[in-house]
Amino acid sequence: MIRRCFQVAVRLGRHRVLPGVPQVLPRLNPTSAFGSSTDALVSRFCLKKTDLKDYALPNASWCPDMLTLYQEFLEKTKTDGWIKLPSFKSNRDHIQGLTLPFGLAVASDISDWRIFTRCIQVEGQGYEYVIFFHPSKKKSICLFQPGPYLEGAPGFAHGGSLAAMMDETFSKTAYLAGEGLFTVSLNIRFKNLIPVGSLAVLKVDVEKIEDQKVYMSCIAQSRDQQTVYAKCSGVFLQLQLEEESSQ
């Protein structure tokens, strides 16, 4: 049985290196940052012409804070170089034509998949969020409103729901900033509880890209920045998606 694990995959990748050459993954060009530029990744990711539903758009469940901050950032997409990331029902929709490297891709007869942060589709019940990304500054802002199905302590969002939102924001940021693909580590310090139905603003910065890893930090705060909900550092492994071979 094929062991679908990326540690094995990475080791297999290393076996293809010539002796005397510094250990790098296949197709890694040491002179450039990585395979594809951020601009190329962004344009492939943000499919302009698509029938796919974008869930990162305002709806009736969004609280006033979220709506107004969303409008502010929408303005910045016209003037300050920010980009609003689309959010489809599944990551498979985001990477059409591409597949996981090293044989990690698995065939399955399941047809109904959802990315975890879009697992609940009733408006306002689960995750309501939108991510804005700045390609040149390599930073992201995620507007996150947890619904009543994300509860932990009564009336407040489950710590794990915030952990997953941070992981997802890291994931999209790492991918567009440097082809980061898999989470290596997450280190979260919780400070305060997020009331269900209120807005949490997650700011993510790419600290550095080094040794085939993307290092990021995140701070989650209330809109007025008076309450810090949590701080997190995250590391992602750089791996290139492969073009799906035409069979």
Give whichever of 82 and 232 is closer to a second copy, judged by the CB atom: 232
**Distance in angstroms (rounded) separating the CA atoms of residues 168 and 208:** 18
Least gap, CB of 1 to a second copy (angstroms): 11
Give whichever of 71 and 187 is closer to a second copy, judged by the CB atom: 187
Least gap, CB of 204 to a second copy (angstroms): 14
Question: Which residues make up the interface to a second copy (CB under 8 A)?
Answer: 3-7, 90-92, 95, 99-100, 104-106, 108, 110, 112-117, 119-120, 125-126, 148-161, 163-168, 171, 181-193, 195-197, 227
State yes or no: is 167 an active-site residue.
Answer: yes
Least gap, CB of 142 to a second copy (angstroms): 13
Residue that is written with structure tokens 């609280």 in the block? 63
Torsions phi, psi for 226 (to 5 deg)? -80, -25
Least gap, CB of 168 to a second copy (angstroms): 6
Q: SS3 string of 20-78?
A: CCCCCCCCCCCCCCCCCCHHHHHHHHCCCCCCCCCCCCCCCCCCHHHHHHHHHHHHHHH
**C-alpha distance from residue 234 to each of 31, 102, 216 (Å):** 25, 23, 5
Helices 38-45, 159-178: inter-axial angle, 10-degree rounding: 120
The catalytic position among 167, 205, 211, 224 is 167
CA nearest to 234, candidates 194, 153, 178, 150: 178
Give whichever of 73 and 149 is closer to a second copy, judged by the CB atom: 149
Least gap, CB of 15 to a second copy (angstroms): 18
CA nearest to 178, candidates 235, 135, 238: 238
Give whichever of 17 and 105 is closer to a second copy, judged by the CB atom: 105
CA nearest to 153, candidates 117, 200, 192, 187: 192
Least gap, CB of 146 to a second copy (angstroms): 9
Total residue count of the chain as it appears in this document: 247
CA nearest to 70, candidates 56, 54, 81: 56
Give whichever of 99 and 217 is closer to a second copy, judged by the CB atom: 99
**Distance in angstroms (rounded) separating the CA atoms of residues 95 and 87:** 12
Residue 53: DSSP 8-state: P
Which residues are part of the catalytic machinery? 167
